[in-house]
Structure 1
Amino acid sequence: MKALKIAATGIVALSLALTGCSGTSKATPDNGPANALPAGVTVTATGGQAFQRNAAVDGGTLRTGTIAPVETLDPMSPLNSGGLPVARAVFDALFVYDKDGASVPELAKSLESTDKGKTWTLKLPADVKFSDGTAFNSEAVKKHVERLASEKSQSRSAGDARNVAKMETPDATTLVLTLKNETMRFPKFFTYGITGIGALVPSPTAVEKYGAGFGQKIVGAGPFTLESFQAGGEIKLKKNPNYRLAGKPHLDGLTFVTATDTQSRLAGTIAGDLDLASTQAASDLVDAEAGGLTALTQETTTYYDILFNLDKAPFDDVRFREAVIRAIDLDGLNKAVFDGLQTPMTGMLPKSNPYYIDTDWPSYDPEKAKALIEEYVKDTGNKAEFKITTTSPPEFQKQAQVMQQMLADAGITMTINVGDQPTMVTEAFAGKFDSQHRFTGIAAETDQALSTDYLSTSPVNNTQGSDPKVDELLLGLNADYSPEHRTQVYTDLQKQFRQWLPIVPLIQHQNGWYVGKKVGNFPGTLPGTVEPDVRELWISK
């Protein structure tokens, strides 16, 4: 039988051919002279924007703002949106997504199966070392998978790791993995993304040396090494002098500064305290340009949502869930918080996703919401009330306040609690919440993201609930991963999510970055992520 293989040609196509973001008019160069791209700005293969001020310069440092505080960088933890790009810069990735959503090697050489996904052979390069001098070999990857599968693991990739029944290391560059349940989706475990944490391999020497403190002392084989770590504060990286790729990275150092408040992050970049930062709001890009920065739209696959705890009242009743969805006027929310510049959601997948279908997702209907609440209260004797935990950035708090009034108009009392992101992650993992105001993403790993968040056996299914039909559909991709089958499964999944209603999809982000005058090159974001390739950042002359 011919081997199914992931090698430099990217033979195994993944779930999503990435599409360009909707963005602002300047993101589309065909709009005519009036909307021409600014000097130095180009459109990337994924539809985002890159910026180059001058030819490559080696040396110097840049400061970037992160959208969430970072408490740990250990892949065995539930790495958040603030920690992922830092870990990525230190570890490198075994595989990454290309512009077409295919999995292609970065640090690894290939991954193949000859028996329909039961056994996988991972090939690694020779002579690569972690920054502490430890050999990057098959034994290091084996220990990494074992850590992710351990009982203590809270990694978003723990479920995939626990599907590994046996690992063998016939030589230093070969790891053979035998799975408990065969799956053609297994390569995504080793492909970097929100759920592809198997791609980030730590030095086993450092793991053993630092033990529980490894998350603040991480060591990898990437372009940068960790210079200093302040939990919830600044994280400083310095160039790895022994990085495997000659001439990379260009920077001598990169500092990540916690800046959860979007306005302070923008103001800090305009003032020069930061050199570049990301945003999820179209209005920030407008304000950035007005402040003299270069604003760059990027591929957008993420959106704000309300996560329900399906294991407890009132959200164990689908009538209450639907009432909440119907009580929120998404167009009004968009206008009140985002100046009407972003896109309301109409289902579990953004409309930009090529698998999106219209499922007649519940739309704004306050009278229907009131009727559902009256029925729920009469049948259960419960009050129409719940708590929501949101976080500190103004766009989150303003959304919560607007939704609170909308829900009150439908007879639902929502109490707002403001929490920090690390605590919210811990409470979600433990199921100690009513609902949470957060955001989710459906990118190059559509099925992986859905499996991680909604499969009943996933250790990080934070809904605390399950739907048998959703399980059946997601597991059905294990044996047949053909494009035709995936299309049908995604269609059926969206229809089933319409019946289940596990979350409230709210407003789609407008992902973007803005850069200051010290930045000489910004390459756009990596496919399937919201972060740039830090190896290709350099300073202005």
Structure 2
Amino acid sequence: MHRRWHRTLALLAAAALALTACGGGSDDDGGGGSADAPVGDPVAGGTAKIGLVSEPRTLDPAFLGNNLTTNSLVGSALYGALFTQDPVTGDLSPAMAESLETTDGGTTYRMTLQEGLTFSDGSPLDAEAVRANWARAKDIGLRAPVLAVGLGLGDLRTVDAVTFEFTLNRPTPNFGGAITTSALNWIGAPAALTQGQAAFDANPIGAGPFVLESWTRGGELRLLRNDRYWDAPKPYLDGLTLSVANDAEQRYNALQSGATDAILNGSTQITARAEEAGFDIAAENRPNGGTEFLFNTTVAPFDDVRAREAVYKAIDLEAVSQAVFEGQATAPSSWFAESSPFYTGDHLPGPDPERAEELFAELAAEGKPVSFTIVTFPTPDSTGIAQSIQTQLSAYDDVTVEIDNRDFAGATGALTGKSHQAITAGVQFVDPEPQWWAHLHSESFSNYSGIEDAELDEALDAARAATDEAERRDAYQRVEERTAEIYPAVLIAETEEVVLTRDGRLQGVVISGAGTVLVDGMWLNQ
């Protein structure tokens, strides 16, 4: 089969995305401006002030997280994108790379770059630069987060200045989504990357729409327009000033006070309050997957499927939403949003207190009462979910739940090292490939639940290898149905992320893939 993606970008800009926002905010809340008001053509100039959810620990592209609540805005600002991806259909569109082809069903690929690409220092961004970055991605010694995808890469070969060929260890006909939703989409200058992390963080060299002016850790990250950017007349802004607040309330307060022009937000309750106050949604992201309560199936008590089922069926997701999200979160009934081409109905079971009570009693009678600790990340949502689950389970006999609140490094270490019994986490994707395979397959580096199930693996492998969309959809339905039988996780809430702005000030915001914030088309409506 021959596949070629070479389509016009099918993503909506902020003017269209903002139609869901409410107008007429109160002066006291600092909102205002109707989201459906006409905004006109992009205006060049100005520096946008944006509040981020998390600060990168390095600007090395291999270590940046590629979703809205991690570092995708920083990554796209400094490094641009090889491809972009429609966040609903999953279709790829060209950016710095003009095409991606496979002629053998997804084992061997050929990528063709745009002619004349350069990094911000004037050095060429060519096929060898892509090869060098992807070689780092698969380097086990580097142990960058992109390794979860990089381990699937086989041979990497430069054909000529604009042509890069690579193979995959497993045939993956839809590998384009693995590029757009990971750090494979960001290319740093190889010579600069060899200088070491400290030197690179002081002077990161990419080919994105902006370059680094200064970075005060724990303070502001200031970026300036890259005059060498390949897609002139973009970027429209002269600069970006980025600040960080892990707490959604703090970011919202900064937006209300005028300290920022826009904020990134993954809190459904903050979004609801902001809309009520008249703030605008500049862009929104509703990928598949969502917030999870993840079991470690390799250790007690959750190495016993009965314990997983008992906890799963004891949790009332509507009660979690009320306790944690002010009733604004959507309780999932499927791993896929109804807008997804992979949605085939509601496959996730709901609560069943009687069945939960029966299983808890059965396990206790065997001398195995359910006792476990929940590891949380230092966010209100993570700790709130754990507390809500702890409260709900306290109504049952023979169940003991503790909570271990950790910092980001500690919680991440527990997750990736599988040293947790249960943890609040999440997974989000547009096309299920590669994230869902990586999340659930027994051979995956990032299967943090440790689930190992032959039927599940078979369905995931069939979905990965299929080239017919109907076959893929059927295989992913089998995956959904199997997860509802073996309970690797509880899907707590759908992901609902937005970029909020005041008075329609930040325009041209685009979301690509599963949450990549594209910045080259942003402009200020002054």
* TM-score normalised by length of structure 1: 0.86
**What letter corresponds to residue 3 of structure 2 in structure 1?**
L
Assess, with a 3 A threshold, how the Cα gap between structure 1 residues 317 and 148 changes in structure 2: closer, same or farther.
same
Assess, with a 3 A threshold, how the Cα gap between structure 1 residues 162 and 279 changes in structure 2: closer, same or farther.
closer
Q: 1:533 aligns with which of 514, 518, 523?
A: 518
Identity, in percent, stands at 28
- The answer to whether the Cα contact below 8 Å between 1:270 and 1:291 also exists between their aligned partners in 2 is no
Alignment correspondent of 1:319: 306
Post-superposition offset of 1:64: 1.4
Name the SS of the counterpart of 2:62 in structure 1: coil
1:41 matched to 2:35? The reply is yes
Alignment correspondent of 2:26: none
Assess, with a 3 A threshold, how the Cα gap between structure 1 residues 55 and 402 changes in structure 2: closer, same or farther.
same
Cα distance between partner residues in 2 of 1:79 and 1:537 = 21
- The answer to whether the Cα contact below 8 Å between 1:76 and 1:148 also exists between their aligned partners in 2 is yes
Alignment correspondent of 1:97: 85
Assess, with a 3 A threshold, how the Cα gap between structure 1 residues 240 and 294 changes in structure 2: closer, same or farther.
same
Cα distance between partner residues in 2 of 1:319 and 1:39 = 53
Alignment correspondent of 2:507: 522
Post-superposition offset of 1:92: 1.1
**What letter corresponds to residue 480 of structure 1 in structure 2?**
A
Q: 1:139 aligns with which of 128, 135, 138?
A: 128
Cα distance between partner residues in 2 of 1:222 and 1:524 = 16
- The answer to whether the Cα contact below 8 Å between 1:473 and 1:489 also exists between their aligned partners in 2 is yes
Q: 1:485 aligns with which of 471, 474, 494?
A: 471
Cα distance between partner residues in 2 of 1:127 and 1:360 = 49
Alignment correspondent of 1:271: 257
Alignment correspondent of 1:368: 355
Assess, with a 3 A threshold, how the Cα gap between structure 1 residues 134 and 382 changes in structure 2: closer, same or farther.
farther
Deviations 1:244-269 (A, max 9, x none): 12221111221222111111111111
Name the SS of the counterpart of 1:298 in structure 2: strand
Name the SS of the counterpart of 1:409 in structure 2: coil
- The answer to whether the Cα contact below 8 Å between 1:119 and 1:179 also exists between their aligned partners in 2 is yes
- The answer to whether the Cα contact below 8 Å between 1:367 and 1:410 also exists between their aligned partners in 2 is no
**What letter corresponds to residue 258 of structure 1 in structure 2?**
V
Q: How many residues align?
A: 509
Cα distance between partner residues in 2 of 1:290 and 1:27 = 9
Alignment correspondent of 1:33: none
Alignment correspondent of 1:82: 70
Alignment correspondent of 1:473: 459
Assess, with a 3 A threshold, how the Cα gap between structure 1 residues 135 and 24 changes in structure 2: closer, same or farther.
closer
Cα distance between partner residues in 2 of 1:52 and 1:24 = 11
Name the SS of the counterpart of 1:497 in structure 2: helix
Assess, with a 3 A threshold, how the Cα gap between structure 1 residues 55 and 357 changes in structure 2: closer, same or farther.
closer
Alignment correspondent of 1:419: 406
Q: 2:175 aligns with which of 168, 171, 186?
A: 186
Aligned 1:484-523 pairs, distance under 5 A: 484-517=470-503, 520-523=505-508
Bigger CA drift: 444-453 or 174-183? Answer: 174-183
Cα distance between partner residues in 2 of 1:209 and 1:25 = 46
Assess, with a 3 A threshold, how the Cα gap between structure 1 residues 504 and 479 changes in structure 2: closer, same or farther.
closer
**What letter corresponds to residue 111 of structure 1 in structure 2?**
L
Cα distance between partner residues in 2 of 1:8 and 1:24 = 24
**What letter corresponds to residue 466 of structure 1 in structure 2?**
E
- The answer to whether the Cα contact below 8 Å between 1:53 and 1:521 also exists between their aligned partners in 2 is no
**What letter corresponds to residue 341 of structure 1 in structure 2?**
Q
Post-superposition offset of 1:347: 3.8
Q: 1:224 aligns with which of 210, 217, 223?
A: 210
Aligned 1:151-166 pairs, distance under 5 A: 151-166=140-155
1:119 matched to 2:108? The reply is yes
Cα distance between partner residues in 1 of 2:225 and 2:283 = 28
Deviations 1:132-177 (A, max 9, x none): 2221011111111111111124445435433333222221111122
Cα distance between partner residues in 1 of 2:290 and 2:231 = 35
Cα distance between partner residues in 2 of 1:297 and 1:245 = 21
Bigger CA drift: 51-60 or 197-206? Answer: 51-60
Alignment correspondent of 2:27: none
Alignment correspondent of 1:48: none
Aligned 1:399-438 pairs, distance under 5 A: 399-411=385-397, 412-438=399-425
Alignment correspondent of 1:4: 3
Cα distance between partner residues in 1 of 2:464 and 2:286 = 27
Post-superposition offset of 1:497: 1.0
Assess, with a 3 A threshold, how the Cα gap between structure 1 residues 109 and 26 changes in structure 2: closer, same or farther.
closer
Deviations 1:74-100 (A, max 9, x none): 343362732222112111111111363
Cα distance between partner residues in 1 of 2:125 and 2:441 = 33
**What letter corresponds to residue 303 of structure 1 in structure 2?**
G
Alignment correspondent of 1:32: none
Assess, with a 3 A threshold, how the Cα gap between structure 1 residues 333 and 161 changes in structure 2: closer, same or farther.
closer
Name the SS of the counterpart of 2:130 in structure 1: helix
Name the SS of the counterpart of 1:270 in structure 2: helix
Cα distance between partner residues in 2 of 1:39 and 1:272 = 14
Post-superposition offset of 1:489: 0.7
- The answer to whether the Cα contact below 8 Å between 1:78 and 1:425 also exists between their aligned partners in 2 is no
Q: 2:438 aligns with which of 417, 435, 452?
A: 452
Assess, with a 3 A threshold, how the Cα gap between structure 1 residues 74 and 475 changes in structure 2: closer, same or farther.
farther
**What letter corresponds to residue 445 of structure 1 in structure 2?**
D
Cα distance between partner residues in 2 of 1:78 and 1:429 = 16
Cα distance between partner residues in 2 of 1:446 and 1:116 = 17
**What letter corresponds to residue 521 of structure 2 in structure 1?**
E
Post-superposition offset of 1:117: 2.4
Name the SS of the counterpart of 1:121 in structure 2: strand
